[in-house]
């Protein structure tokens, strides 16, 4: 079965979503690219665990034999400090996604002047809808993913770190 671009049908991308993309744009490829980017940002954020592990090891005295011993009075560095720049990739990615809006507008000048058709549609918002909706949706999903990652990393910090080593007000310190 062929899709509207004349290529092979990919079933997983909802057909109705194509109404929010420039006509004929290969949305399946776009989504694949988007998901790959999101995955890379997720990988980039994993350096949090490297910093966490180093800090966590510093909480203990490690005898050559026997179990590790928690150093009395030691305090774990704040979560926000360990988080560092781990989520910055998501925000940079959002900026790249907004650049897709420009790409969507330029689409109508590629290979033809379909801009002439878009400019004479009875619904003047159609061109803008097809330029903005999907990139904004992608930005929304990216920000949501960043928040989910933040919550997961925070929960990991709170669960794995010995209670007595956690300074109070960790969640609030993130937003300072």
**Residue 33 binding other proteins, by CB under 8 A:** no
Smaller CB separation from other proteins, 124 or 140 = 124
> CB of 139: closest distance to other proteins in angstroms?
24
Q: What is the β-pairing status of strands 69-70 and 60-61? A: antiparallel
**Residue 128 binding other proteins, by CB under 8 A:** no
Other CB atoms closer than 10 Å to residue 48's CB: what's the count? 22
**Residue 119 binding other proteins, by CB under 8 A:** yes
Smaller CB separation from other proteins, 123 or 172 = 123
Please, what's the b/e burial string for 107-140 (b: 16 or more CB within 10 A of its CB; e: otherwise)?
A: bbeeeeebeeebeeeeeeeebeebbbbbbeebbe
> CB of 141: closest distance to other proteins in angstroms?
25
Which residues between 2 and 21 bind other proteins (CB under 8 A)?
A: 2, 4-7
Among 8, 123, 163, 175, binds other proteins (CB under 8 A): 123
> CB of 25: closest distance to other proteins in angstroms?
7
CB 41 within 8 A of CB 52: no
**Residue 124 binding other proteins, by CB under 8 A:** yes
> Token pair 């420039």 is at which residue?
22
Cite the DSSP H helix spans in the chain: 27-45, 47-57, 79-83, 88-106, 115-119, 126-160, 170-174
Smaller CB separation from other proteins, 38 or 134 = 134
Q: Please choose, out of 39-47, 60-68, 116-124, 141-149, the segment that lies near other proteins by the rule CB under 8 A.
A: 116-124
Q: Provide the 3-class DSSP secondary structure of residue 69.
A: strand
CA dist 18 and 129 (Å) reads 11
* Contact footprint for other proteins (CB under 8 A): 2, 4-7, 22-26, 110-117, 119-124, 126
């Amino acid at each position: 079965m062929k899709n509207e671009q004349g290529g092979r049908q990919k079933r997983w991308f909802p057909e109705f979503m194509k109404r929010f993309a420039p006509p004929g744009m290969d949305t399946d490829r776009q989504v694949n690219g988007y998901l790959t980017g999101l995955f890379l940002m997720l990988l980039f954020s994993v350096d949090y665990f490297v910093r966490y592990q180093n800090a966590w090891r510093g909480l203990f005295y490690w005898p050559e034999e026997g179990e590790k011993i928690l150093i009395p009075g030691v305090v774990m560095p704040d979560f926000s400090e360990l988080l560092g720049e781990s989520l910055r990739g998501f925000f940079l990615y959002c900026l790249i996604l907004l650049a897709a809006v420009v790409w969507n507008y330029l689409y109508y000048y590629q290979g033809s002047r379909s801009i002439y058709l878009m400019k004479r549609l009875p619904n003047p918002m159609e061109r803008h809808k097809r330029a903005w909706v999907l990139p904004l949706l992608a930005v929304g999903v990216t920000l949501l993913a960043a928040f989910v990652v933040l919550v997961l990393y925070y929960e990991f910090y709170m669960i794995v770190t010995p209670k007595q080593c956690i300074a109070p007000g960790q969640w609030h310190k993130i937003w300072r």
